[in-house]
Amino acid sequence: MTYRKDHIAKGTAHNRRPGIAMAATTITIHNTGNPSSTAANERAWLTNPSNNRTASYHIVVDDKEAIECLPLNESAWHAGDGSRAKSGNRTSIGVEICERNYSQSLDNAVKLVAAMLKERGWGIDRLRRHWDWSGKVCPRLMYDSGKWTGWIEFKNRVAAELDGEGDEDKLILSNYQWGVVEDNVKKLLDRKVITDQNWLQKAENRTLTASELAWLTFVIASK
């Protein structure tokens, strides 16, 4: 996953970048509500002339990248709870998770949010849902008919990432070795030994874990 800054300009239509200074105390998680859009699509929507909503967000993350759309020390209109000094809009960093290739987008969101928490010396108690500010069913893919099992799982995964539990399974390879892995995953897909394109995306993004590579090796050996 890459991280890049592409801030919308001050004066963007419908006050989407109000320029209000913010000292964030929490991070708020959202789903985009669009099953087909990418992070780049969501960033472009903020400056699309047909968009007439006063809504914005700080970061949007998908299966390949995270884009910072507003500075993290400025308010954004993402929480739906107005402009009071202690509102989510004024105190919380809004992170939108894309729904396309959701499993990988969620993986990237876990890593991104854990890194943001660690950078600030925060724990998962600093995480909020859009729901917590305004009662909107968002992040909707974590709702599970009101049980919020996806939200609980997300927080647990972020906590594990913070604790470094994912490090043992991290795959450390050279650029050449990653290239070999990627080429061979492509061959496996072409030969239909495997059919899930997520394998190629993981190889390309270098997020394939040691246990996943071991499983692929087992599959090849058993054919």
Cis peptide before 139 (omega within 30 of 0): yes
- Alpha-carbon torsion, ordered 83, 49, 46, 138, to 10 deg: 70
Confidence label for 222 from pLDDT (cuts 50, 70 and 90): low
Q: In the prediction, which pLDDT does 211 show? A: 74
How would DSSP label each residue in 120-177? HT--GGGEEEHHHHH----SGGG-TTTT-HHHHHHHHHHHHHHHTTTGGGB----HHH
28 closest CA partner among 53, 70, 58, 4: 58
Is the per-residue pLDDT at 58 higher than 80? yes
- Pairwise CA distance, residues 130 & 138, whole Å: 5
Mean pLDDT, range 30-53, rounded to an integer? 97
What pLDDT shows up at residue 14?
Answer: 97
CA 139, CA 207: separation in Å to the nearest integer? 24
| Mean local confidence (pLDDT), 52-74 | 97
Whether the predicted pLDDT of 52 surpasses 70: yes
For residue 79, the model assigns a pLDDT of 98
pLDDT of the residue at 215: 77
pLDDT of 166 higher than 70: no
The pLDDT of residue 4 is above 70:
yes
Name the band, by pLDDT with cuts 50, 70 and 90, for residue 165. Answer: low
Query: Which domains does the chain possess?
Result: 2-162 (3.40.80.10), 175-221 (no CATH)
Query: What's this model's pTM, rounded to 2 decimal places?
Result: 0.75
What single-letter amino acid sits at 19? G
For residues 75 and 71, give the distance between their C-alpha atoms in angstroms, rounded to a whole number.
8
Q: What is the reported pLDDT for 217? A: 79
In the predicted model, what is the mean pLDDT of the chain?
A: 92
